[in-house]
Amino acid sequence: MHSTRFILKLVVIAGLLILPGLSVAQSTARIPVILSTDVGNEIDDQWAVTYLLLQPRFKVLGVMSAHAPSITAPAGKTSLRILVDVVENRLGMRTHPPLIEGGSEPLTNETTPISSPAVQFLIRESKPFSRDNRLTVLVIGAATDIASAILTDPGIVERIRVVQMGFYDERGGEEFNIANDVHAVQAIMESNVPLAIGPGKVCRENLALTLQQAKDMLASHGPIGAWLLEEFEAWYFRNVKPIRVNDFSKSWPIWDNITLAFVLGMTSQHDLPRPRLKQDMSFERVSSDRTVTWITDVDERRMWSDFFTLIDEYQRTHKIKKQPYGRLTFGMP
C-alpha cells in the first residue's frame, strides 16, 4: 500500500471513531437482492452477509451458499452450514430471509448447467421482475449457480442484473472467485445480463485493513465487532503475517463489501466494452455493443460509517450471545 493511501486510511478510521455514523438507511427505496456467497472460505463474506442483512435499504429475498476448493466437501452444503451459523448464531437472527444450498462443483463447460436448490430458487424468485425492474444478484464466490440459472432459463437475463467481485483489474487476471468456476463467468459474460464487476485491485486500494486498523475499527462495536475481529485475527495470523517475523504492516482486504457499496451508490465506475473471457482468465477484445460496468473507487469512509452505525443500531435492540464453540470458517472446526 502506498504511503499516501495508508495515511488516508488512518484518517478515515480516526473519523469513524469520533464521528456519528452517516447511515444511508434513511432512504425509503428498497432494493430487491439475492446474495451468492462462499461464506466460510475466508473472512470477507462474513462482513458482507452482516452488512446485507442489517442494511434496511436491501429487500433480501434470499442468501445462497457457493462452493470453493478450500471449503470441506460437499462445499455447497458445508458453506450453507456456516451461513446458518453466521445468520442465526453470530447475528442472533430468529427470523431471516431463506438460506439456500448452492452447487458443490464448478461447471464442466460454459454451456451445460448444473442443477441445485440455489439455481431453482433464483429462477423462481426472478419471475416477478422485468427489464425495467430488475432483481440484483450479488456474486461474491464462484458464479456456478448464477450461470446455471442463465443457461437453464435464458430469459432470466431480462429480469436480473449481476454485481460480481472478481478479476484483478479491467484487463482480467487471475482472482480466486473467477478461478473457482471460469466456465460460469464465461457463460455470464457471453449472455446479455447487465454486469458490474468490483476488481481485486480496487478492493486492495480501498478496503484493505492492517491488524491494528481492524482492532481500532471493531473494538467498540459489541459482540458482533468482537466476532468479526476474532475472525480477522485468526485469518491474519494464519495467512497474512509473515511466519516468525513481527511484521504487522501487511493488510488484508474485505473484498466482498465492494458489491454492496456499488448497489448503495458508494462507488465510482465506468463502462467498457464487454470482452470474451479466456480460460486463463485473460480477456479477448471482441466487437460488441454489450458492456461491463467496472467499479473504479469506493467511498470507504461513507461505507464503513454506515456499516458500523447499522451494527450498533442492531445491537441496541438485539441481544447477541458469544457462542460456546469455535469458528466454523476457513477449514477450522
Q: How many CB atoms lie within 10 A of CB 145?
A: 34
What's the confidence (pLDDT) of residue 328? 79
CA pair distance 23, 17, nearest whole angstrom: 15
What's the confidence (pLDDT) of residue 246? 87
pLDDT at 55 over 50: yes
Q: Which helix (H) or strand (E) holds 45?
A: helix 44-54
Please say whether the beta carbons of 212 and 100 come within 8 A: no
CA pair distance 152, 155, nearest whole angstrom: 9
Q: Which amino acid is at 205?
A: E
What are the cell numbers at 9?
486510511
Establish if 194 belongs to a structural domain. yes
CA pair distance 64, 37, nearest whole angstrom: 6
What's the confidence (pLDDT) of residue 22? 41
What's the confidence (pLDDT) of residue 27? 55
pTM of the model: 0.91
Establish if 183 belongs to a structural domain. yes
pLDDT at 331 over 90: no
What's the confidence (pLDDT) of residue 245? 83
Shortest CA distance to 164 belongs to which of 187, 183, 138? 138
What's the confidence (pLDDT) of residue 324? 77
CA pair distance 138, 132, nearest whole angstrom: 18
Q: Is 192 exposed, middle or buried (0-12, 13-18, 19+ CB in 10 A)?
A: exposed
Shortest CA distance to 45 belongs to which of 328, 333, 315? 328
* 11-33: average pLDDT: 58
What's the confidence (pLDDT) of residue 330? 75
CA pair distance 188, 190, nearest whole angstrom: 5
Instruction: Dihedral sign for Cα 303, 305, 306, 311, please.
Output: positive
What's the confidence (pLDDT) of residue 19? 43
* 97-106: average pLDDT: 98
Please say whether the beta carbons of 51 and 67 come within 8 A: no
Shortest CA distance to 221 belongs to which of 150, 128, 315? 315
Establish if 140 belongs to a structural domain. yes
Compute CA 158 distance to the chain's CA centroid, rounded to the nearest angstrom: 23
pLDDT at 141 over 50: yes
Q: Which of 17-31, 158-172, 237-251 has the lowest mean pLDDT?
A: 17-31
Residue % of the chain over a pLDDT of 90: 85
What's the confidence (pLDDT) of residue 207? 98
pLDDT tens sequence across 177-224: 999 999 999 999 999 999 999 999 999 999 999 999 999 999 999 999
Establish if 60 belongs to a structural domain. yes
What's the confidence (pLDDT) of residue 243? 78
Q: Which amino acid is at 217?
A: M
Number of domains in the chain: 1
What's the confidence (pLDDT) of residue 13? 55
Which structural domain range is residue 303 located in?
Answer: 3-9+29-278+289-314
Establish if 325 belongs to a structural domain. no
What are the cell numbers at 30?
428498497
What's the confidence (pLDDT) of residue 25? 45
pLDDT at 137 over 50: yes
Residue % of the chain over a pLDDT of 70: 91
Establish if 235 belongs to a structural domain. yes
* 231-235: average pLDDT: 95
Establish if 83 belongs to a structural domain. yes
Q: What is the DSSP string of 152-183?
A: H-GGGGGTEEEEEE-SSBTTB---HHHHTTHH
CATH of the domain at 261: 3.90.245.10
Establish if 329 belongs to a structural domain. no
* 70-83: average pLDDT: 96
CA pair distance 127, 17, nearest whole angstrom: 44
Residues with Cβ < 8 Å from 14, sequence gap 6 or more? Answer: none
What residue ranges in the chain does DSSP mark as E strands?
31-37, 58-65, 99-100, 135-140, 160-165, 195-198, 208-210, 251-253, 267-273, 276-277, 283-284, 291-298
